[in-house]
Structure 1
Amino acid sequence: VNDSSRRRSLVMSILNDNPSRYIDVLSQARLNEDVEVVHYAATAMAQISAKEDLALQRCRNDYLQHRNSETMLERYCDALERYVNSGIAQGYALQLQKQRYAEVLQERLRKHGDYHVACRLAQMQIDLGLFDDAAHTIDGAMERWPDQGDVWLMRLRLDAARNDGDALRHTVQQIESKHIYLGGQGRRALRFWTGTKEAERA
């Protein structure tokens, strides 16, 4: 939107609607050249952040007071996932919540986790640069779910994050030789790494 009055009108309509639904738009608006638009967007993001921080803190308190409750564990885990992926937090605040998210995922995996939890944990460890921890998580997941395509794709992501071409090629070979089922999105990811159409048959 090039017209300044329309930009301001758009931001104001977002503020009067439900700002939490437009976090991506508000984040972009904070970089606008229009000072007034930047002010409105920054104010809205600060309000959203304060609200979400409070909700997350309440969820954390409930979890800490009921450490043996699987319901509270799952609720806090899901709340952290939404917060981390929301785009609200930045810098140190985001890193802190990512670390807490990884810790809660570890606890959830120890108690009753499935391969979805293991993959979420491995991805968060990769995002945090904890490659050795991610490798440990993936190794454990492969022992428990050796034929699960999502786990193998997570191994590929770790190999790529480490810039380990030899390991990545070895993982691709294993996926193909073991005939691991990956599904449509997984086949596209594998095709990207192989650079061929061989992944269509995996």
Structure 2
Amino acid sequence: MRVFEFIIYLILTILDTMISINYFFFRNIAFSTLVVLHIVFVCILFILSKKVFKDSKALPFYIALFLPGIGMIFITTINIMLESYAKKNGLIKEYEKYVHYKNELENIKKININKELNLLSMYDKLKYSPSSEKKEAIIELIDNDMEIKVYILRTALLDEDPEVVHYAASTLNLFEQEYERNLFILKQKYIQSNEVNTLVEIIELYDSYINSGLLDDESLKIYLKEYLNLLEDNIDRFNDNYEILLKMIDINIKLSKFDDCFYLIKRLFENFSPKFETYFYLMKIYYNLKNYKMVSNIAKKIRELEIKIPEKYEGIINYWL
């Protein structure tokens, strides 16, 4: 627990205890005064915990509220014990690394200024323009990034105008149908031709569909399994291709099939010289398993082996050292 936080908790607890003692033992204050002051102290403690100190442990503040004096002592004692246990077991440090690592992963993609401007422009149109312009914006949506398209259209689904919602829903449905149609065509083509180039097209289309944002959780899981089966059935055709194995690891991570992930990582180590991506995916596996100590150990291993680290990943690796 930070020193300042401890002092605030202690002061509020002492004040609340003092007014409770004054009322119950000495009758120096009125009941209404006790109630008002007690509620004020508990509210201050609650606001500080949730807003200022970002306390997410959900301490039972209702106990403090309904038990003047004793309740505040209970809450403060519990908070100190939780903080002490977390610090002793390294949980605080590991949690901070978890949060930082998660944020870093979200920021490793390079920013495309034109894409961001297009997104903001479309978002503003959907939020502030008349219904006719909103519908026109949906119809003329021509951005090449499917993830951007889906995000914009899902925003339009929340519009107050039923017609705008209908346009957005219809367009999303068309995108899904287009993916389904193209997958079907490519699969039929591959059955007839058995060409590697067609197989590569199917893989790229699965990649795009899975990352488009169109699929709900249940459908996404189905397509991930389909995609994984496709890669597993055809891995021999790619002669244990490095990129294909990485794709398989990524899918297995999303499906929480970590034993398969470790098996594939082993294949990478056996068949290829040490590469950054191999170690980084191993970090991702342990990260998803919430084994942050191993994530840190692998980051140190990368430094020890002097493997070339892509610039956009430098911040992540440095943090875990």
**What is the TM-score normalised by the length of structure 2?**
0.54
Q: Which runs of 5+ in 1 are unaligned?
A: 195-202
Task: Give the drift of 1:16.
Answer: 3.9
Q: Which residue of 1 aligns with 2:301?
A: 174
Q: Distance in 2 between matches of 1:151 and 1:121?
A: 12
For each residue in 1:65-93, what CA deviation from the matched residue of structure 2 results, as whole angstroms up to 9, or x when unmatched? 44x43222212111111111122222332
1:126 is aligned with what amino acid?
Answer: I
Q: Which residue of 2 aligns with 1:164?
A: 291
In the TM superposition, 1:31-42 aligns within 5 A as 31-42=158-169
1:143 to 270, 287, 294: 270
Pair 1:26-2:161 in alignment? no
Determine which structure has greater relative contact order: mean sequence separation of CA pairs < 8 Å that are 6+ residues apart, divided by chain length: 2
Bigger Rg, which one: 2
Q: Distance in 1 between matches of 2:317 and 2:229?
A: 29
Pair 1:119-2:243 in alignment? no
For each residue in 1:31-81, what CA deviation from the matched residue of structure 2 results, as whole angstroms up to 9, or x when unmatched? 334433222111111122112211111112223344x43222212111111
Task: Give the aligned CA root-mean-square deviation in angstroms.
Answer: 2.3
Counterpart secondary structure, 1:86: coil
Q: Distance in 1 between matches of 2:164 and 2:203?
A: 35
Would the aligned equivalents of 1:19 and 1:44 in 2 still touch at CA under 8 Å? no
Would the aligned equivalents of 2:265 and 2:282 in 1 still touch at CA under 8 Å? yes
Relative to structure 1, is the Cα distance of residues 91 and 16 closer, same or farther in structure 2, using a 3 angstrom cutoff?
same
Q: Distance in 2 between matches of 1:41 and 1:84?
A: 20
1:101 is aligned with what amino acid?
Answer: Y
In the TM superposition, 1:43-192 aligns within 5 A as 43-66=170-193, 68-112=194-238, 113-192=240-319
Would the aligned equivalents of 1:108 and 1:117 in 2 still touch at CA under 8 Å? no
Q: Distance in 2 between matches of 1:189 and 1:146?
A: 22
Task: Give the drift of 1:94.
Answer: 2.0
For each residue in 1:73-117, what CA deviation from the matched residue of structure 2 results, as whole angstroms up to 9, or x when unmatched? 212111111111122222332222111212222344333243222
Aligned length: 192
Pair 1:3-2:128 in alignment? yes
